[in-house]
Amino acid sequence: MDTFAEQWPDFMQQSLHPKAVGMARGAVSSKTPETVYEVFLLGLMLGRALKDWEVTIEPRGGSGYIDIRLVSKETQSAVLMELKSSKKQEDVERDSLAALNQIESKNYRNRYDLPDIRYLREYAIAYYHLESTVNGRYLELDQSRWVQKDDPAMATQV
């Protein structure tokens, strides 16, 4: 999780054109940059051919809609991603934390929406044009509730 959070902003700056995620004159709505970002992430994930992972955009979850959800029934794992388009560069960190809180407050991790899932990673990405911040957490299902733990993938990295 830390590796993704650390490397994503630089990757995004190298991969996206600033005009693609900036609010352009005549844009259909203020959600336009967020939609472009969702499509970019979806293409990136599908292009990487995530074996045995189901990738969906805007699936219903809890009392709202998750921006991006990845599910692997084989590994009993899921990833929930919430995206926020910040209005000012200095708001990116605050908006990323708000997006992370939204995952919990809107109950996106509702276990009935994630049947047979035992491991969950949640990522919140806020961005302003090409500047971005990622926050995340790793959880495991303990009986009937999600418990935040240290990410075991970090223990294997040197």
What's the angle, vertex CA 9, arms to CA 5 and CA 55, rounded to 5? 65
pLDDT in tens, 79-120: 999 989 888 989 999 999 999 999 999 999 988 889 899 999
Q: What is the pTM of this model?
A: 0.75
The pLDDT-based confidence of 25 (bands split at 50, 70, 90) is very low
Name residues whose C-beta falls within 8 Å of residue 14's C-beta, 6 or more positions apart in sequence.
none
Q: Where are the domains of the chain?
A: 2-155
How far is the CA of 21 from the CAs of 24, 40, 73, 118, in angstroms?
9, 10, 33, 34
Strands 131-142 and 54-57: unpaired
Tell me if residue 143 falls in helix, strand or coil.
coil
